[in-house]
Amino acid sequence: MELATFRYAKGAWSEAFPALDSANTMIIAFAAPSYHDRPELLAELARAYPQSAVIGCSTSGEIDHTRVRDESIMVAAVRFGATRVRHAATRLGSVEDSYAAGVKIADQLRAPDLRAVLVLSEGLHVNGSELVRGLNSELPEEVVVTGGLAGDGDKFGRTWVLANGKPETNGVVAVGLYGDRVRIGHGSKGGWDTFGPERVVTRSVGNVLYTLDDKPALGLYKEYLGERAAGLPGSALLFPLALRGSTSDANSVVRTVLSVDEETQSMTFAGDIPTGAYAKLMRANFDRLILGAQAAGEAAMKNSEGPSLSIAISCVGRRLVLGERTEEETEATLETLPQGTKQIGFYSYGEISPHTTGRCDLHNQTMTLTVLSEAP
């Protein structure tokens, strides 16, 4: 496996495009949202790799090894030796198309020797849980599915994916990796603390939450946020929601707010909020967030072999909480991985990964790593 990372920043590419184009090459680009209005740069990248599978998305910050950048394009080029690469793409007409989009991506990539899928979706007009459910419905459990939802800083205005060499809103793109030589490590960890009473979701539709304990959800959130309520929906990133299916369920998933509706007093989340689930607010614990990133790296390194690429996808909420300490989590992930590992990534509106093994799930407020390598 041959690997290179490079970037566009301050008006120039950091180097000439590495000569790695081939049918077995994967190009991944994570870019600031503003590059939607400069499509010629992304088109230039795609033209340089006409045989390769090229995907990417907008971000809430680009990860360059341990550094976190803004207003840049971070690129990884991976030319595999024996691992085959295939590209897939579809569009979302509405949020209700999320499940079907997952099915379409899976159908385009499905094959007996499929080993892994890296999927990137627009981040605002998608139900990430339904997208994942569609993927899981068509793919064998042993296929590792990871990825994330595109970001737009804390603006929640417009997100996009890189499809067919240009930025497209309302799109989903993916790359499938095939054969017995590819090695995929993955890890997804949080580090948030729960607080306050656990409440029952008494009314919800898909990823829209209306009431908790029969009380308007938005009103309850505002009580907890206090003066921060004026900054909704962005300020809700600091207080995600932990969900579990029953009081006996040891595992919980975390959900992040995407938008709020004052008229209906409802809140739209990145993934499903099932009626009858148990919900509890969460808040940041700085040290535990860093330890969570380190634990994600430790989990992801188990299958690496030889030169490795780490794709780090962390939630924008973590970046807002950590502030000037944000790079501590990108340092923590890379420190746990084999020496020489290259790392790119982005801050997202949702992360896709298995918990530990088995089916993938949608996560929020986690650091999620995918580590790719190839056996000699």
pLDDT score recorded for residue 357? 66
Sign of CA pseudo-dihedral 67, 237, 290, 337 = negative
pLDDT score recorded for residue 141? 93
Q: In whole numbers, what is the pLDDT of the chain averaged over residues?
A: 93
Count of beta carbons in the 10 Å neighbourhood of residue 108: 15
- How far lies 95's CA from each of 38, 125, 207, 284, in Å? 27, 5, 10, 29
Q: H-helix or E-strand containing 80?
A: none
Give the residue-averaged pLDDT of 209-216. 96
Phi-psi region of 93 (alpha: psi -120 to 50; beta: other; left: phi over 0): alpha
Confidence of residue 84 (pLDDT cuts 50, 70, 90): very high
Cβ atoms of 354 and 303 closer than 8 Å: no
This prediction's pTM? 0.88
Which of 140-144, 206-210, 351-355 has the weakest average pLDDT? 351-355
Of all residues in the chain, the percent with pLDDT exceeding 70 is 99
Give the residue-averaged pLDDT of 24-38. 97
The rounded distance, in Å, linking the Cα atoms of 217 and 211 is 5
> What backbone phi and psi angles, to 5 degrees, belong to 201?
-75, 110
DSSP character at residue 181? S
The rounded distance, in Å, linking the Cα atoms of 169 and 93 is 10
